[in-house]
Amino acid sequence: MKRYQALADTMAAEIRAGRLAVGTRLPSVRHLTTQYGVGQSTVFRAYYLLEEWGLIRARERSGYYVAPGATLPPQAPPPVPLTEPAPIDVSSLVFSVLDAVKRPDIVPLGSAFPSPALFPLARLAKSLAHAARMLDPWSTVVDMPPGNEQLRRQIALRYIGMGIAQPVDELIVTNGAMEALTLCLMAVTKPGDVVAIESPCFYAALQAVEHLGLRAVEIPVDPRDGLDLDVLAEALDKHPVRACWFMTNFQNPTGVTLAVEKKRALVALLAKHEVPLIEDDVYGELHFAQDRPPPAKAFDTKGLVMHCASLSKTLAPGYRLGWVAAGRHAGAIRRLKLMTSISTSIPIQAGIADYLQHGGFDKHLRKLRGALLAQRDAMEQAIARWLPPDVACVRPDGGYFMWLQLAGHVDAMQLHRRALEHGINVTPGPIFSARHAFGNHVRINFGHPWSPQIESAMKTLGTLLRAAS
């Protein structure tokens, strides 16, 4: 190992252990050359590495500071005991949070969506108009589930791009990923069954578990490492788990992506138990690194992974176009779809098929990823600038959410309410948990082009957080 790497590791350990708090100015280069007996260039290269890791941030003409998120968790979290499967009771809290999203006067840091201004709505309208004009009347019958064949071929092509040979006849078009996820859950469970979900967890999964009368065992998700496979293995041994519902890439709310090796291990573990995985991968295309992180589906050899995705976050918000690559459950899901919603809108399917063929999806995606990356950086800077140094978060490598851990005594629900009074929506941690845990966490959306309004909202949040201390 090179000297600068060793130095970076040493300093990273200091930072991660919390011995250098968030916002602390790092020692000067001169100080470090003396302390560690190394040359200036070694120190600089170590700094660059630490910056690349997201642990420190440079401020112009001021030096290096410990970055927000670098020290999460301040201490190792207490080991999470395996929860007993329990019925879910999501309070109306979720809805009060969601309702505020619709108000145009509210700064949408609590939104679940990126800004609709980031999408090629005019080009989509062109494809939709063309497809509607050309619509074969009989497509209203023929394109019923599993769905429009051209569209499913286009979707299958994208799987090839992920190294997955996806049979077209196992692809079922749905009304967004939400319907796909719900149908998967219905296909493999009956009321009273036990399912494994994440903690923290996309609240809609909690709601689905609730309204289908299932019981849930919660598997902890670490904001750096993702799902705890040891706890999952224990749950599978101990409970008759009928299905897992996990978000493998840029998880909502933590932003964490499961490493490839962990995905492989997850699929193998579930295959051993013959437990289906409902894989929610709606953010996978929003990666900031070069390559799209693969889904767990890529490692599935038994048809047990139901890979659910959509275009709602990547191309066409509001069109409600999603799908599931359903493996061995394709037949059951197609039938459930037919039963519960008959079909996905036929002109929408045809319009999206036209866009995917002619609209320049990949070019749009590159632009979108660039915009989200710039917004993430702006958000990180605003956090460093305005929020108290005891706010910690892990830098996400994709998607548009930051999961902030506030000081231990700060009540996220109270912050949510106070922020709303100031015209700002943030998503309080407790709505991501069946037991209303994460009482000192909030999820922040950076899916909107940076604006003075957002900057000012972050400043206000900082003021509210300091007042709460």
200 or 226: whose CB is closer to a second copy? 200
| Contact status, residue 287 vs residue 398, Cβ threshold 8 Å | yes
Instruction: Establish if 207 lies at the interface with a second copy (CB under 8 A).
Output: yes
What distance lies between CA 41 and its chain's CA centroid?
A: 38
Instruction: Establish if 53 lies at the interface with a second copy (CB under 8 A).
Output: no
> Which region, judged by CB under 8 A, interacts with a second copy, from 130-138, 240-248, 255-263, 409-417?
130-138
Size of the site for a second copy (CB under 8 A): 62
Q: Which residue is listed with tokens 């275009």?
A: 311
| Contact status, residue 173 vs residue 321, Cβ threshold 8 Å | yes
Distance, CA of 353 to CA of 345 (rounded, Å): 12
Instruction: Establish if 185 lies at the interface with a second copy (CB under 8 A).
Output: no
139 or 463: whose CB is closer to a second copy? 139
Please tell me whether residue 111 adopts helix, strand or coil conformation. coil
Using the rule CB under 8 A, which residue among 7, 124, 188, 216 binds a second copy? Answer: 124
Instruction: Establish if 175 lies at the interface with a second copy (CB under 8 A).
Output: yes
DSSP assignments along 137-206, one per residue: TTHHHHTSTT--HHHHHHHHHHHHHTT----GGGEEEESHHHHHHHHHHHHH--TT-EEEEEES--HHHH
Residue window 298-327: x/- pattern of binding to a second copy, with contact defined by CB under 8 A: --------------x----xxxxx------
CB of residue 455 to a second copy, shortest distance in Å: 21
CB of residue 310 to a second copy, shortest distance in Å: 10
- Beta-carbon contacts of residue 467 (< 8 Å; ≥ 6 apart): none
Write b or e for each residue in 105-120: b if 16 or more Cβ atoms lie within 10 A of its Cβ, otherwise e.
ebbbbbbbbbbeebbb
Instruction: Establish if 119 lies at the interface with a second copy (CB under 8 A).
Output: yes
26 or 90: whose CB is closer to a second copy? 90
Using the rule CB under 8 A, which residue among 19, 339, 363, 466 binds a second copy? Answer: 339
| Contact status, residue 184 vs residue 326, Cβ threshold 8 Å | yes
Burial degree of 411 (CB within 10 A; 0-12, 13-18, 19+): middle
Applying CB under 8 A, the residues found at the interface with a second copy are 92, 95, 98, 101-102, 104, 111, 113, 115-117, 119, 121-122, 124-125, 128-129, 132-133, 135, 137-144, 175-176, 178-179, 182, 186, 190-192, 204, 207-208, 211, 213, 312, 317-321, 335-336, 338-348
